[in-house]
Amino acid sequence: MDILASISGIKPKVLLDDGQEVKMSSMTTENLWKIKRTGGHYICSCPAWIYQKTPVDARTCRHLKELFGFNYEQIRINNNPAVPAQTKASTPAPDATPTNKRKRVARAISVSEDDSDSDNDTDNKTPRKKAKHDAPNSSSSISSAPSTIAVSVLLAQTWKEDKGCDPTGYWISEKLDGVRAYYSKGAFYSRLGNRFYAPDSFSEDWKSKLPKNATLDGELFTGRNKFQDTVSIVRSGSSNRWPEVTYYVFDAPFLMNKQFEERLAFLKSIFGEPDAPTYPNVRVVEHTKCKGKSHVLEMLEQLQNKGAEGLMLRQPKSMYETRRSSTLLKVKTFYDAEAIVIAHHAGSGKNANVTGAIECRMECGKTFKIGTGFTDAQRRKPPKIGCIVVYKFQELSKAGHPRFPVFVGEAIDKTVPKDAVIRVLDAADDDDE
């Protein structure tokens, strides 16, 4: 059942599908504002909505009220546990008495999803100071933990097959395409310190087992290729879909001075082994000892075929650092593609007298350079201009150019370039880990 289709018996004037966006004209200016549904709440591009110091699912504005109806919006906000008690029902109903002021009639214009802005991030990215409003209204289902806290987490660097460290002995785990979540004093927070309003029932079975100063680092996850579903549930103040979420915990920041293996042992002592969890909605992320580079690539391919986003590599005996560190590495999918060589570029340093990079054109017409993957002999005698070469890369930039391209060899049986077919995931390439 659609949780926004009717709230306390009140239906909206318009019901948007998840991800649907409309444009609405301002009632006082010539501006057009974007209104979009994201899971169990709505967002508006107007300044009044953006600069509110409340969670995104606890905001409204005149444009939302105009589109969905004042009574519906008031009930939607009042029913949200993330809204401070003193703000609920504080906005008077619109005055129905005619006035002499000339009003512009607001109108909604449908837009396709292709025209909409990306909304994969779990935090509002508009620069603003941390909110200092009171804690959410306490109830039987939502605790009164702070709405925002200071959070500093360990962030990963990227492992590159050609230049990366030898991963032998590292711990390999799946990179989950969920929502990064920091647990502290009974509540979950984003890596920017904004609270996720999970019902108390989500953690009531195990929070008493933790030391009072315990903090956890993990991922709220509903399954592979379900990032948007996870975001929808986590962002919403509604608790009816939280049972679909599992908290995959991979570290304990409060034990930052202990080695990773000790921190992992602590997590297992509370939550059980990865394949035998103690509680139904929290699991310790499984870690496998790496046997070498080929092991990483094999696991990457196996998990990729199952829909995984990638892998994580954890340095053995490493401490928990509150910064981006080489002790944690993310491994993304490598794609193979073919391009035509259009130029040679001289190198520098040790490659000053040989080819430093070849410039290539993709099937789609975009050009880029490949500077790694060559042997010394290949640099002395690079692929000829006009020939087709095979290269691999981890991802495309926003402009569509291969990032971290690596030369593989010449495609002697090919006469035209061929771009890679990129596997599409729900999750954007973010810095959650």
Count CB-CB contacts under 10 A for residue 135.
16
Widest pairwise Cα distance in the chain: 85
Joined tokens for residue 199: 């019902």
Gyration radius of the chain's alpha carbons: 26
Return the half-sphere exposure (C-beta side, CA atoms, 13 A cut-off) of residue 97.
Answer: 3
11 is an active site residue: no
Contact between 209 and 409 under an 8 Å Cβ cutoff? The reply is: no
The DSSP 8-state label assigned to residue 7 in this structure reads B
Query: Whose CA is closest to 371, among 385, 355, 383?
Result: 355
User: Would you give the distance in Å from CA 394 to the centre of its chain?
Assistant: 18
Query: Whose CA is closest to 108, among 11, 207, 23?
Result: 23
Rounded to whole angstroms, the Cα distance separating 286 from 282 reads 12
Query: Whose CA is closest to 315, among 330, 327, 329, 323?
Result: 327
3-state secondary structure of 131: coil
Task: Look up residue 57 and give its amino acid.
Answer: D
Q: Which of 175, 330, 332, 392 is catalytic?
A: 175
What does DSSP say about strands 395-396 and 402-403: parallel, antiparallel, or unpaired?
antiparallel
Q: Which residues are catalytic?
A: 175
